[in-house]
Structure 1
């Protein structure tokens, strides 16, 4: 059994949807796929994508990303917390999982999150331009920090077999030093909305061996403080130099 990972499928783009549909129907029948968020803000596309992947893999594991929680064009209108519940229902109904699961010698743990500005204070320019501020809708009086509190509070605290390899995954980054040093300073204004430091505390409390994340659209595998972090984004079609058009195997059982 192998564990593959991907994120940021953005199947609103025809090329990305075609990539998902063209994955082999036979090669991955005994394998697990982690999808670390951002399939689409359109529920019908999320459902179609997950159903396509479920047909190809033994198990598909999913957490929603920020794009998935956009409420633009939602009919009937909903807030982003209600949409999160809709997404979890669609995932389960499609045959995917949003819960901790054990497979032979590996345990896979989905972690929900948001950003809480622990990576920096957002500039006025970011507050104006970042689409989440306009496309997500939260209950009245709910701050960005409260959103992060809510999602972190949902995360699994179930006992995990210590002999298993623990793989956790989230859409958001658990630490800002996962961003490579070559990012130009002018592009770092988005860092405040990339993740939350408290997420990494949860990752390490799980004693994860591998943590998969998405969101940044920068494919990278790096080890920090004894833990391997992996980003396997499909990303937008024009970002081929940052991401990749292939699945990444992150673990293979003996």
Structure 2
């Protein structure tokens, strides 16, 4: 029995959709889908249906791509936006028994447990930027190296006034939920965006950091007794340790960023029981 994770399946790609069809049957295992699974509802439905049929339990958190205001299918000119889009995806996940940030945090009682698995939806607030760069100037600063995220055009925060305001609300709400947990039981925190800016290693896009998280969560791994923190978004698979907590970046990525000869199963990261700290 294992807790596995993967993110950034980017099912807009036919190559990645074909890979999804090879997902192994692991009915004793749980699978975390850590965001950027798909922009379109039909592709997200495909991911939920496929994963739910092959794993004992599936958990999902949204990435920024899920929140993009794109038509839901090729025949629809209108797109759900902002929070209404997110809530529609929650309802879709529940149709397949997939757990979301709006559900109770399940208890993992398998190897490496017990742990409370907490899917989170926190967004970002542009605070991952140099001190010398103001919030008003951050997009222009990123644009100097052509690192501006497509969210600036596609991620509508409605009904919130800004993505920062939505992020603040999500962080406040989630903090209160986590604080109510039994502190004696370790957690596995799952968020699409990294919780700390010192975990960001993207030399190909060094000024992409403002769209990568919030400094609000820098100490959450300590505050909420995290055994493991799972994230994606960066398309840089790696393991880091901070204060005895293991941080796993579990991205698959676009077809050019992974080896199709190895198959999708190769990229499923074992979260629990997982390795132990040296």
* TM-score, structure 1 normalization: 0.89
Return closer, same or farther for 1:55/1:3 CA change in 2, 3 Å cut-off.
same
**1:123 aligned partner:** 139
Structure 2 unaligned regions, length at least 5: none
1:143 aligns with 2:162: yes
1:80 aligns with 2:54: no
- Within-5 A mapping of 1:37-186: 37-74=35-72, 75=76, 76-98=78-100, 99=103, 100-104=105-109, 105-120=114-129, 121=133, 122-124=138-140, 126=142, 129-139=148-158, 142-155=161-174, 156-157=177-178, 159-162=180-183, 164-180=185-201, 183-184=202-203
Provide the C-alpha distance between the structure 2 equivalents of 1:161 and 1:3, rounded to a whole number of angstroms. Answer: 21
Q: How many residues align structurally?
A: 247
Provide the C-alpha distance between the structure 2 equivalents of 1:225 and 1:203, rounded to a whole number of angstroms. Answer: 8
Return closer, same or farther for 1:136/1:123 CA change in 2, 3 Å cut-off.
closer
- Within-5 A mapping of 1:179-218: 179-180=200-201, 183-184=202-203, 187-218=205-236
Provide the C-alpha distance between the structure 1 equivalents of 2:168 and 2:6, rounded to a whole number of angstroms. Answer: 25
Cα deviation for residue 24 of structure 1 reads: 1.6
- Secondary structure of the structure 2 residue equivalent to 1:150: helix
- Secondary structure of the structure 2 residue equivalent to 1:108: strand
2:228/2:245 contact within 8 Å kept: yes
**2:27 aligned partner:** 29
Cα distance per residue 1:94-118 (max 9 Å; x no partner): 1100131112222100111111111
Provide the C-alpha distance between the structure 2 equivalents of 1:178 and 1:237, rounded to a whole number of angstroms. Answer: 23
**2:253 aligned partner:** 235
Structure 1 unaligned regions, length at least 5: none
- Secondary structure of the structure 2 residue equivalent to 1:29: strand
**1:252 aligned partner:** 273
1:116/1:195 contact within 8 Å kept: yes
Coordinate RMSD, CA, aligned: 2.3
- Secondary structure of the structure 2 residue equivalent to 1:86: helix
**2:242 aligned partner:** 224
